[in-house]
Structure 1
């Protein structure tokens, strides 16, 4: 299995020779340093056709847990535990067709939202280009395929739903696309929309903890410009262990009746937009869709009651 893991690192073949040599040496050094755990991980990767396909598409999985992953305060055993929990979750609980596309490295459009001017924005799921921040990415994309915001996350089992990155639009786009989206969504900022959907995801699957990586613990802390800590704290985050903020699974909202009358209509329009986004997101993750008719999927459907698909249940 160790030999196959070296042979399977086709991704290193596309790097310059010095980097390629360093990559193979690093892979060997860490594999031997954590040999029992590495063998256990390799057995997991070879244990199902889905995981064999996943590692063919993403050979970096062989050694993902060897380097800093999501938070620099996680040690190697914790990184491996989280990585195994994530893929077990996908195998056991994620909609099969969606899961298989993601494991093959496909980009999947899971829904479309309409802004007040009629323009469309899309929600996409795919593996992120930089995997050190997490294993899945939720992207808010314009009709011209420009990324407005992205959220990189990992299903961490007992460690919770872990958010390793919450990024804004591509820097060369400037602030104009963000302003246009915020106007068109009645005041919803792109990052806040994605955080709302992460809260929906945690509650949908019964995940008790939602956690966002702290600025100082980010694997690329020296390179990022976004103020992660302020964003988490604005949304109710409390600094916790291992370089994470503990986030509430429900967002705080001021009752409409307490708002000035001139702001109530805007608030209702904003909530209507968020309801639509929640409904689109929930439909993409519904086990009971006709495109997933296997007996296993039908048994899984019992975990999601019909009332759960009403977006107000997730506000």
Structure 2
């Protein structure tokens, strides 16, 4: 019965669209978006103003001036499913106030207004780069975009933010790292690039390499936990028109990564990648696995070096890894 009703509604919508001139549909679409935006600004005005006041330091003011859309984030679905507008604003403030405390001012500006290359691997098959920057394309899911590129072409990405467990429906107020989205790029060419990047990384998949980088970011910033969205917890999961944008199977990947389900909407991930004993692999696979594990260790060391150069001196005292610091990114020849 419900299927019949939905089908009839779709037929009526298509009929109306055919009857209305395209120019009028275009104008109406823009009027509708403009009206909804300003209505939301009025309804959530107090929350938006609270967010703007919370970002009142000179550094955060420069970011807000360059990206005024940050103040509008609480008026729309953001971060995870069923998060109230006041909690959205508090989550955004948690991110920016935490990074202002733990990253150097220059790093804060570069990451949020541009990008920072965290790692570059020069392999026989091509160049693999991992970079951290503003969450372009992940407006509702995160504040950072962590991107893996192969020979300069984006191959996989994750959306990250620093929030509190209470923003995720859990108990706790200590800042943690949140992974709100994971995606690839263009199905055909993107799949070929992902396969090439996997071969260049000795069998390490691009999304696994990004998770490795996210874990190192959490360690560098002394964040106690890493949480990630489930299929049901994605910010678009509760919206019929937006749900089709969710293409990745989050639950499966987090389970493969030794994640623990904390609720319908949230997984908790390990802060370091568990290293499986070589003896548990078939004998004919051990050489390949040993090579991949060695690469992962090299990547972790290189990521640590770059991140150490981005954090404030007092935060470095709590960072266990002792490395020679490079001013930008570390390049590995493998």
User: Shared fold (TM-score greater than 0.5)?
Assistant: yes
Task: Name 2:213's counterpart in structure 1.
Answer: 197
Task: Name 2:178's counterpart in structure 1.
Answer: 162
Q: Does 1:111 align with 2:133?
A: no
Q: Does 1:187 align with 2:203?
A: yes
Cα distance in structure 1, aligned partners of 2:264 and 2:85: 13
Give the TM-score normalised by the residue count of structure 2. 0.77
**Is residue 71–residue 244 contact of structure 1 (8 Å, CA) maintained in 2?**
no
| Cα deviation 1:102-150 (Å, max 9, x = unaligned) | 23x21332321123x251111111112231010001100122x321110
Stretches of structure 2 that go unaligned for 5 or more consecutive residues are: 1-28, 165-173, 238-242, 326-334
Tell me: CA distance 1:299–1:216, structure 2 relative to 1, closer, same or farther (3 Å): closer
What's the secondary structure of 2:96's corresponding residue?
helix
Corresponding pairs, count: 282
| Cα deviation 1:50-77 (Å, max 9, x = unaligned) | 1111112221111212222121132223
Cα distance in structure 1, aligned partners of 2:322 and 2:143: 30
The root-mean-square deviation of aligned C-alpha atoms, in Å, is 2.5
1:153 CA drift (Å): 0.6
Give the counterpart of 1:139 among 121, 126, 147.
147
Q: Does 1:303 align with 2:325?
A: no
| Cα deviation 1:27-51 (Å, max 9, x = unaligned) | 12211xxx2x443322112x21211
Which is higher, the Rg of structure 1 or of structure 2? 2
Q: Does 1:232 align with 2:241?
A: no
Q: Does 1:75 align with 2:84?
A: yes
Give the counterpart of 2:52 among 38, 42, 58.
42
Give the counterpart of 1:29 among 43, 62, 86.
43
Stretches of structure 1 that go unaligned for 5 or more consecutive residues are: 1-14, 311-315
Cα distance in structure 2, aligned partners of 1:233 and 1:137: 22
